[in-house]
Amino acid sequence: MGELQDSTLISRRLGDARLVTCAAPAYLEKHGTPTTPDDLAGHKAVMFFSGQSRAVMDWRFMQDGTPVIVRPARTMLVDNSDILLSCGLAGLGMLQGIRAILAPHLESGRLVEVLTSYTTVTKPISVLYPDRRYLAPKVRVFIDWLSALFCRQKRPTAWIVTPRETVKFRVSGFSHECCPV
């Protein structure tokens, strides 16, 4: 998940994960609710950093069709999504994460979405494999199945967005209209 580094691997884009910015109700009661991405500068945040590069994952929003990077004040840096969620639920700061993972907590009210009028920049989801010419049939079927699974998530509230173009493919006698290969 995320932007791919240059490598010798073949990639197949499956879609993009939708992100959500949220906080625990107790945090919002104590610190207030931001109304614009600029308001985040005065808020505490639990932020994710890459385990490999150690780079902090900035929060990105779309404003007037242009991506804007926002850097809230950091309360804590984590490299584990379970810890990110636990810190957010404990009210240690705001967090930005994958909507599908946070959805049960948003639905239960344990987390509250903020900045709903600002779209977050999505994270690309890809599958990587070593070589398309010598790809084992089982691996090819798995990749096609995974692609089909992602293509079924087309509702506006779904956790992924898939490419607009579609093609047809066959997997073990099953024909399905799906994302481009």
pTM (2 decimals)? 0.70
Burial (CB count <10 Å: 0-12, 13-18, 19+), residue 142? middle
Provide the total of helices (H) and of strands (E) in the chain, helices listed first: 4, 13
Residue range 79-97, pLDDT digits in tens: 888 999 999 999 999 999 8
Q: Report H helices in the chain.
A: 25-31, 81-89, 99-108, 137-151
Low-confidence ranges of the chain (pLDDT < 50): 1, 155-181
Tell me the two tokens of residue 58: 């900035």
In words, the CATH class of domain 9-124 is: alpha beta
